[in-house]
Amino acid sequence: MKIGERLKRLRMINSLTQEELASRADLTKGFISQLENDATSPSIATLKDILDVFGVSMQEFFSDAADDENVVFGKDARVQATHDDEKIRVELLVPGAQNREMDPVLVTLEPGEEMDEQPFHEGEEFGFVLLGKIQLRLDDRLHTIKKDECFYFTSDKKHSVKNIGKTAAKILWVVTPPTFYY
């Protein structure tokens, strides 16, 4: 059985270099490289030592469940967050986004509503206005964004969004890394 690709995927997900993994598992970088390229096979004890670094059991590692990862998420999978008597709604579109690279949400703002100002943080943000008209504040600059327009900025600015239209505004908003503040 070839396990190199799975080991490499676990290492990458955990943001470890081959050298860091080798150090934590008391192995050499060269051995980790050989494992990932399926040039050698580990003993059961060595594989267990490596998996312990990731906090993964042998059963989890060899389970095909990882291959059955959800790709499609329906409305019933969304996590709802409501604020101020449903005048601001945030729907987390993908469960477990904190373990992923992006945090996609659907934000709905009733007319005149404004989200709290978010402090700067690492990462980037993208939003596509599906409905309505909003005003995006980045530090002291204001930007008006209408239906079918989008915004993109690095998150190193204070930012907030206000619905300046006469109808509800809906925004598909993606933050990376997952740091969506509400």
C-beta atoms surrounding 64 within 10 Å: 6
Q: What CATH number should be reported for the domain whose range is 75-176? A: 2.60.120.10
Q: How far is the C-alpha of 143 from the C-alpha of 136, rounded, in Å?
A: 5
The residues that bridge with 106 in the sheet, in sequence order, are 91, 172
Prediction pTM value: 0.62
Residue 90, pLDDT > 70, answer: yes
Question: If you average pLDDT over residues 66-78, what whole number do you get?
Answer: 73
Which CATH number does the domain 4-68 belong to among 1.10.10.10, 3.20.20.70, 1.10.260.40, 1.20.1420.30? 1.10.260.40
Domain ranges for the chain, please list them.
4-68, 75-176
Element (H, E) at 174: strand 169-176
Residue 180, pLDDT > 70, answer: no
Asked if residue 126 lies in contact with residue 173, where contact means CB atoms within 8 angstroms, the answer is yes
Q: Of 84 and 18, which is predicted with more confidence?
A: 18
pLDDT digits 0-9 by tens, 133-146: 999 999 999 999 99
